[in-house]
Amino acid sequence: MKNPLKERLKNGERVYGTWLMTNSFEACEIMAYMQPDFIMIDGEHGPFDIESAGRFVTAIKSQNCVPLLRVPGCEEDILKRGLDTGAYGVMVPLVNTKEIAEKAVKFSKYPPTGVRGSGAGRAAMFSLDPSYYATANDEVLVIVQIEHYTAVENLEEILSVPGIDVAFVGPQDLSMSMGVATKDDPKR
């Protein structure tokens, strides 16, 4: 498994992508055909279950685009099953502490680094290369969402966790956690 998005990020290159928040397979195919660097399937606020996310991952990969999956939380089964769709990375919401960040990495990596199980799922099927398990831990992108004032207070500790590749700021939830009105607030 080679993750071209992760490689470009490591090289300090700019990347662009989009979010998929609709369960329209045709929209997914059109978006992937436009060849952004990645498409984030929104499994937190979007209408996706694991089965449909897997179909969308396949469509995105078919256009040489990197599929990512925002999962609804930092639970072991959710992260493992999310990556078993064949997604090249996961975005974990509400990472407010170092402990949650450590769990996000642990649940996203195969032993000895983590606890992700190896099975005859999509992730292995898409990577018939014998080196898949040897390289998967290095290629999976782990993105943590900083979207609460507690995460900002703990930011240095969160970012000190080995295996965190990207910290993504969720501005609306962060603003709300700070009691700051957003542009969409009708009282503003």
Pseudo-torsion of CA 76, 78, 84, 85, nearest 10°? Answer: -170
Q: What is the pLDDT of residue 1?
A: 73
Least confident of 20-24, 66-70, 94-98: 20-24
Contact 32, 65 (CB under 8 A): yes
122: pLDDT confidence band, cut at 50, 70 and 90?
low
Q: What is the pLDDT of residue 124?
A: 59
Kindly tell me the burial class for residue 70, based on how many C-beta atoms sit within 10 Å of its own C-beta (0-12, 13-18, 19 or more): buried
> What is the sign of the dihedral through the CA atoms of 33, 34, 37 and 41?
negative
- Please, what are the domains in the chain? 4-177 (3.20.20.60)
Contact 93, 70 (CB under 8 A): yes
Catalytic entry in 45, 138, 153, 185:
45
Mean pLDDT value of segment 82-96: 95
Question: pLDDT (tens digit, 9 = 90+) per residue, 126-140?
Answer: 555 667 778 889 999
Question: pLDDT (tens digit, 9 = 90+) per residue, 15-36?
Answer: 999 999 999 999 999 999 999 9
Q: What is the pLDDT of residue 164?
A: 98
Contact 18, 39 (CB under 8 A): yes
117: pLDDT confidence band, cut at 50, 70 and 90?
confident
Strands in the chain per DSSP E: 17-20, 38-42, 66-70, 89-92, 141-146, 166-169
**Among residues of the chain, what percentage have pLDDT more than 90?**
81
Is residue 45 part of the annotated active site? The answer reads yes
* pTM of the shown model: 0.91
Q: What is the pLDDT of residue 118?
A: 78
How many Cα atoms sit within 13 Å of 174 on the Cβ side?
Answer: 14
User: What are the two backbone dihedrals, phi and then psi, of residue 6, each rounded to the nearest 5 degrees?
Assistant: -65, -40
Q: How distant, in Å, are the alpha carbons of 11, 26, 79, 81, 91 from that of 159?
A: 19, 37, 19, 25, 14
- β 89-92/66-70 pair status: parallel
187 pLDDT above the threshold of 90: no
